[in-house]
A = this chain, B = another copy of it.
Amino acid sequence: MSVLKVGIVGGTGYTGAELLRLIAGHPNAEVAMITSRAEAGVGVDELFPSLRGYTDLKFTVPDVSELAACDVVFFATPHNVAMKMVPELLAANTRIIDLSADFRIRDAKLWSEWYHEEHLCPELLAEAVYGLPEKKADQIKDARLIACPGCYPTSIQLGFLPLIEEKLIDTSRLIASAASGVSGAGRQAKVDNLFTEISDSFKAYGVSGHRHLPEIEQELSEAAGSDVALTFTPHLLPQVRGIHATLFSEIRDPAVGLDELQFLFEKRYADSPFVDVMPLGSTPQTRTVRGGNMCRIALHRPQNRNTVVVLSAIDNLVKGASGQAIQNMNLMFGLEESAGLNGISLLP
Contact = CB atoms under 8 A, between A and B. Distances in A.
B182 A194 contact: yes
Given A196-B14, A200-B287, A348 B240 contact: yes
B196 A348 contact: yes
Interface stretch (A86-94, A201-209, A328-336): A201-209
A226 interface: no
Interface stretch (A2-10, A126-134, A161-169, A289-297): A289-297
Contact of A283 (B182, B204, B213, B290): B204
A311 B300 CA distance: 24
A191 interface: yes
Interface in A46-72: 48-54
A244 B287 contact: no
Interface in A252-300: 276, 278, 281-292, 294, 296, 300
Interface in A199-234: 199-205, 207-209, 213, 229, 231-233
A241 B278 contact: no
Contacts of A302: 207-209, 231-233
Contact of A182 (B175, B195, B241, B292): B195
Size bracket of the A interface:
35 or more
Given A25-B344, A232-B302, A343-B343, A203 B286 contact: yes
Contacts of A233: 177, 246, 248, 302, 309
A84 interface: no
A348 B183 contact: yes
Nearest to A229: B305
A123 B173 CA distance: 44
A21 interface: yes
A142 to B, nearest CB: 28
A10 B190 CA distance: 19
A306 to B, nearest CB: 8
Contacts of A194: 182, 187, 189-190, 193-195
B242 A201 contact: yes
Contact of A203 (B25, B284, B301, B344): B284
Contacts of A197: 195, 348
B287 A50 contact: yes
Interface of A: 14, 17, 21, 24-25, 48-54, 173, 175, 177, 179, 181-183, 185, 187-191, 193-205, 207-209, 213, 229, 231-233, 235, 237-242, 244, 246, 248, 250, 276, 278, 281-292, 294, 296, 300-303, 305, 307, 309, 311, 313, 342-348
The 6 closest A-B pairs by CB, nearest first: A201-B287, A177-B177, A50-B347, A195-B198, A50-B345, A203-B285
